[in-house]
Chain A
Amino acid sequence: MLDSSPHVAETPAVAEIDALHVTLRRGDQDIHAIRGMSLDIGPGEILGLVGESGSGKSVLAMSMLGLLPGDARTSGRCLVHGDDMLSAPAEVRRRRRRSSLGAVFQDPMTSLNPTMRIGAQVAEAAESDEEALRLLKAVGIPDAHRRMGAFPHELSGGLRQRVMIAMAVAGSPSLVVADEPTTALDVTVQAQVLALLRSLRDQIGCSFLLITHDLGVAARVADRVAVMYAGRLAEMGPTGVVLREAAHPYSLGLLGSRLSLGSSRTEPLATLPGEVPDPTRPPAGCPFAPRCDLVTDRCAQEPVDPVEVAPGHLSACVLPIEQVRGATEKAREKEGAPPAGTSGHPAGSSTQPQGDVAVDVRRVVKTFWVKAGRGRKQRLAALRDISLTVADGESVAIVGESGSGKSTLLRVIAGLEHAGGGEIALGHGVRPQMVFQDAGASLTPWLTVGDLIGERLRRERMSKPQRVERVAAALAQVGLPADVAGVRAAQLSGGQRQRVALARATVVPPKVLLCDEPTSALDVSLASGVINLIGRLRRELGMAVVFVTHDLSVARIVADRIAVMYLGRIVELGDAEDVVHHPRHPYTRALIGAVPDFGADPPALPGDPASPLRPPPGCSFHPRCPIAAEVCADPDLHPRLLGIGHGQVHQVACIRTEVL
Chain B
Amino acid sequence: MIQLVSKRLGAMAVIILVLTAVVFALQKASPFDPVHSMLGPSASREAVAQQRHALGLDQPLPSQYWHYLTALLHADLGMSYRTRHPITADLATFLPATAELALFALVLALVLGTALAVATTLRWRGAGVLRFVLVAGASTPAFLLAIGGILIFYQLLGWLPATGRTSFTDAPTGPTGLLTLDGLLAGRPEVTLDAMGHLVLPGLALAIGPAVSIGRVLRSSLVGNRRTDYVRTAMAKGLSEGSVLRKHVVRNSLGPALSMTGLQIGLMFAGVLVIENVFSWPGIGQYTSLSIPVGDFPAIAGVTLLLGAGFVAINTIVDILQAVADPRIDV
Contact = CB atoms under 8 A, between A and B. Distances in A.
Interface string B228-246: 1110111111111000000
A105 B233 contact: yes
Interface string A181-214: 0000000000000000000000000000000000
Nearest to A91: B240
Contact of A164 (B3, B4, B228, B233): B233
B238 A113 contact: no
A184 B224 CA distance: 23
B300 to A, nearest CB: 38
Interface stretch (B194-202, B272-280, B323-331): B323-331
A124 B331 contact: no
Contacts of B326: 114-115
A179 B247 CA distance: 24
A374 B252 contact: no
B85 interface: no
A105 B231 CA distance: 12
- Interface of chain B: mostly helix, strand, loop or mixed: helix
A400 to B, nearest CB: 26
Interface in A90-121: 94-99, 101-103, 105, 107, 110-116
Nearest to A164: B233
B188 interface: no
Contacts of B67: none
Contacts of A94: 238-240
Nearest to B327: A151
Contacts of B234: 113, 124
Contacts of B53: none
Contacts of A103: 233, 236-237
Contact of A167 (B233, B247, B248, B330): B233
A586 B327 CA distance: 38
Contacts of B229: 105, 107, 110-111
A65 interface: yes
Contacts of A115: 251-252, 325-328
Given A113-B248, A164-B233, A374 B238 contact: no
A371 B330 contact: yes
Contact of A116 (B1, B238, B248): B248
Interface residues of A, number: 32
B3 A374 contact: yes
Contacts of B28: none
A386 to B, nearest CB: 30
Interface residues of B, number: 26
Interface string B1-37: 1011001000000000000000000000000000000
A375 interface: yes
B328 A153 contact: yes
A373 B236 contact: no
A318 interface: no
Nearest to B324: A115
Nearest to B237: A125
A375 B235 contact: no
Contacts of B239: 94, 98, 124
A124 B247 contact: yes
Contacts of B235: 65, 67, 97
Interface in B207-224: none
B230 A110 contact: yes
Interface string B306-330: 0000000000000000000111101
Given A67-B236, A101-B238, A105-B229, A373 B247 contact: no
Contacts of B232: 67, 105, 111
Contact of B4 (A95, A101, A374): A374
Contacts of A111: 229-230, 232-233
Given A98-B238, A99-B238, A375 B330 contact: yes
Q: With a 10 A CB-CB cut-off, give which of A97, A112, A115, A375 has the most chain B CB atoms.
A: A115
B233 A97 contact: no
A94 B4 CA distance: 42
A461 B328 CA distance: 50
B6 to A, nearest CB: 10
B230 A375 contact: no
Q: With a 10 A CB-CB cut-off, give which of B7, B237, B251 has the most chain A CB atoms.
A: B237
Contacts of A105: 229, 232-233
A268 B248 CA distance: 49
B234 to A, nearest CB: 7
Contacts of A112: 230, 233
Contacts of B248: 113, 116
Contact of B228 (A96, A110, A170, A371): A110
B299 to A, nearest CB: 40
Nearest to A97: B238
A147 to B, nearest CB: 14
28 contacts: A65-B235, A67-B235, A97-B235, A97-B236, A97-B238, A103-B237, A110-B228, A111-B230, A112-B233, A113-B233, A113-B248, A113-B252, A114-B252, A115-B252, A115-B325, A115-B326, A115-B328, A124-B234, A124-B237, A124-B247, A125-B237, A125-B238, A151-B328, A153-B328, A167-B237, A170-B237, A373-B330, A375-B7
9 nearest CB pairs, A to B: A98-B238, A97-B238, A103-B236, A110-B229, A113-B230, A111-B229, A125-B237, A151-B327, A111-B233
Interface of A: 65, 67, 94-99, 101-103, 105, 107, 110-116, 124-125, 151, 153, 164, 167, 170, 177, 371, 373-375
Given A124-B239, A371-B330, 15 more contacts: A67-B232, A67-B236, A97-B237, A98-B238, A98-B239, A102-B236, A110-B229, A111-B232, A112-B233, A115-B252, A115-B327, A115-B328, A116-B251, A374-B1, A375-B331
